[in-house]
Amino acid sequence: MKSFFSELYENNGKLVFVLLCFFTLFALVLKKQMLELDTAAFEVLESEGKLGAIKILNSLQYFSIPIFYLIKFTGITFVLWVGAFMFGYKLFFNQIFKIVVLSEFVFVIAELIKIGWILVQGNDVTLFDIQAFYPLSYMQLLDYQDTPNHMWYVYKSINVFELVYWFVLVQFIYAVSNKSLRISTLIVFTSFVPVFLAWLWYFSVVAA
């Protein structure tokens, strides 16, 4: 396991970031073009002449992917860097940043699964189905029609892929730092995980 993650880490960081942006763009375009634009809600917008504005917003979303990732990855990297520092690990900021970029592919897989699942549903899928669905999440155990809209993000964020993401972070830190697996686990679970849970709590309160 350690050698596997070590080999993944040896990949060119800049190329990995470009590939991540490409796959994210691919998943986003596919989802919007093949799913959302075929729903009844978008047909209504088209009849009202508002679809053009939606397409402009979509285009801005496409171009903002690298910026969004840079902000997100920098924040996560800082949290993990502080966590490593607390345990005396000498990991450089750029090392952790690369780990965070590589780990993000977990969520790209989740998005591709989401697209595949919704496509299987056929023409009965609605815009709200698309917005509420996230594979293997707590949200799928609930009826989204009875769930407050501000809690959708929180319930979707509680999912199996998030747990896999934590595991991948631990394995990468373990492989790169050459320290114990126990300490590598503690770094993630005493820095990133509490911040992530605090963010979900904050979002649920502020958005209420």
Q: Are 133 and 68 in contact (CB under 8 A)?
A: no
Burial of 95 (0-12, 13-18, 19+ CB in 10 A): buried
Question: How many folded domains does the chain comprise?
Answer: 1
Taking alpha carbons only, the member of 19, 17, 4, 154 closest to residue 74 is 17
Give the 3-state secondary structure of residue 27.
Answer: helix
Tell me the residue range of the domain where 74 lies. Answer: 2-206
Neighbouring residues of 177: CB distance < 8 A, sequence distance ≥ 6:
84, 89, 91, 184
How does pLDDT run across 139-156, given as a tens digit for each residue? 999 888 888 888 999 999
pTM for the whole thing? 0.88
Banded model confidence at residue 58, pLDDT cuts 50, 70, 90: low
| Residue 19 clears pLDDT 90, i.e. is over it | yes
